[in-house]
Amino acid sequence: MSGARPGLHVTGARVAFGAKTGLEQIALDVAAGERLALLGPSGGGKTSLLRALAGLGGLLAGTVRVGDTDVTALPPEHRGIVYMHQAPSLFPHLSVLDNVAFPLEVRGIARAAARRRAAALLRHVRLDDVASRAPGSLSGGQRHRAALARALAAEPRVLLLDEPFSSLDPELRADVRTAVVDILAERSGPAVVLVTHDVDEAAAVGDRIAILLDGRLAQAGAPFEVLARPASLAVARFLGVPNLLRGRRHDDGLVVSALGEWRSPGPAGAVHVTIRPGAVRARRDAAGRIPAVVTAVVDRVGATWLRVRIGDEDLTVTSDGAGRASPGDTVSLVVDGDDAHVIEEAHPRSRDVR
């Protein structure tokens, strides 16, 4: 390892989870102050990976470094990694203030000093008015902020958040998510790995997204990059990419699909083409080149999407607004070709997240 690199660095990690095959060849680099959203299906080993990184068991092979310190063999309390459980587990026998003071006291800081620092942290997360209350009396959002304050009191170099918003009601989730992101942004410090199975949440919270599929990291990158350009068919399907058309690439790199033709150098053979619904507009007139039949109308906030059929392919497209289409209508499609992305069927299964 060359020099001091603040943040989390994982190489060649193999992690056991349940009775199934574990995670293989996991490599992660998360810079200090960066938020990586680890996205994957439920039961896919995301929690097992976090627990292994925190030293709570399950790491079969590989190296975990925090900054330039190899913490692989260190017990959880000496790693500088704080793991926040799915439902915030505040200690029920301690007041909110004493919960936040807990990491300071176990490090040997005098009780009075620890409580002063804890009070400052509670002010920071706007919970100073509930400092003396029992955790059980807090609302869901308050519990999250208190747990975050407690985690920050430990001054972690890495913060692992395991589905931190999944236990909240939908209407509260967005507010708490925003509050947590703001708090973390204000305290630019720990590298944050946040686990979720919600694509929108990952995109909203993560500076980068990493996708864990079939026991391996399948893709990582900026949210827009990953969502617009899934690296494999499996990633595209997991992300719920609405338009996934079959196509064929010829020797000269010309990709042909029901929506048209694109130049995309690569090996000849079967491919899939993805394209955002916003990049395909349905017109009621014949100005578009590709005829399609409307099968459903999907009204969304600020837009209307149409489900259309071309041959045996189903697509989601946007309506250009010139009159409302109905199921059974014939429309013509105008395609913004720059937005198309070609996926080779034989894509490598795993990529390092760097």
In whole angstroms, the minimum distance from the beta carbon of 237 to other proteins comes to 32
State the helix-helix crossing angle for 111-124 and 96-106, rounded to 10 degrees.
Answer: 130
Binding mask 107-136 for other proteins (x = CB under 8 A): x-----------------------------
Q: Which of 79, 249, 272, 276 binds other proteins (CB under 8 A)?
A: 79
Query: What is the rounded CA–CA span in Å between residue 81 and residue 5?
Result: 15
Q: Is 103 in the site for other proteins (CB under 8 A)?
A: yes
Binders in 136-155 for other proteins, by CB under 8 A = 150-151, 153-154
Among residues 54 and 306, whose Cβ is nearest to other proteins? 54
Going through 155-205 in order, the beta strands assigned E by DSSP cover 158-162, 191-196
Q: Residue 173: enclosing H or E segment and its boundaries?
A: helix 170-186
Q: Is 18 in the site for other proteins (CB under 8 A)?
A: no
Query: What is the rounded CA–CA span in Å between residue 50 and residue 67?
Result: 17
In whole angstroms, the minimum distance from the beta carbon of 162 to other proteins comes to 10
- 78-86, 172-180, 260-268, 285-293 -> range binding other proteins (CB under 8 A): 78-86
Q: Is 82 in the site for other proteins (CB under 8 A)?
A: yes
Q: Which of 2, 4, 18, 93 binds other proteins (CB under 8 A)?
A: 93
Amino acid at 223: P
Query: What is the rounded CA–CA span in Å between residue 250 and residue 269?
Result: 7
Q: Is 8 in the site for other proteins (CB under 8 A)?
A: no
In whole angstroms, the minimum distance from the beta carbon of 152 to other proteins comes to 11
Residue matched to tokens 């042909």:
256
Query: What is the rounded CA–CA span in Å between residue 32 and residue 191?
Result: 4
Q: Do 196 and 208 form a contact (C-beta atoms < 8 A)? A: no
- 19-27, 54-62, 215-223, 263-271 -> range binding other proteins (CB under 8 A): 54-62
3-state secondary structure of 230: coil
Q: Do 293 and 308 form a contact (C-beta atoms < 8 A)? A: yes
Residue matched to tokens 């497209």:
317
Tokens found for residue 314: 């189903």
Q: Is 55 in the site for other proteins (CB under 8 A)?
A: yes
Query: What is the rounded CA–CA span in Å between residue 196 and residue 236?
Result: 17
Q: Is 35 in the site for other proteins (CB under 8 A)?
A: no
Angle at 206 (CA atoms; ends 337, 73), nearest 5 degrees: 130
Q: Is 165 in the site for other proteins (CB under 8 A)?
A: no
Q: Is 76 in the site for other proteins (CB under 8 A)?
A: yes
- 99-107, 165-173, 201-209, 326-334 -> range binding other proteins (CB under 8 A): 99-107
Angle at 112 (CA atoms; ends 109, 116), nearest 5 degrees: 95
Q: Is 305 in the site for other proteins (CB under 8 A)?
A: no
Q: Which of 83, 165, 262, 305 binds other proteins (CB under 8 A)?
A: 83
The number of residues that bind other proteins (CB under 8 A) is 28
User: Which residues of this chain interact with other proteins, rule CB under 8 A?
Assistant: 51, 54-56, 75-77, 79, 81-85, 87, 89, 91-93, 102-103, 105-107, 150-151, 153-154, 160
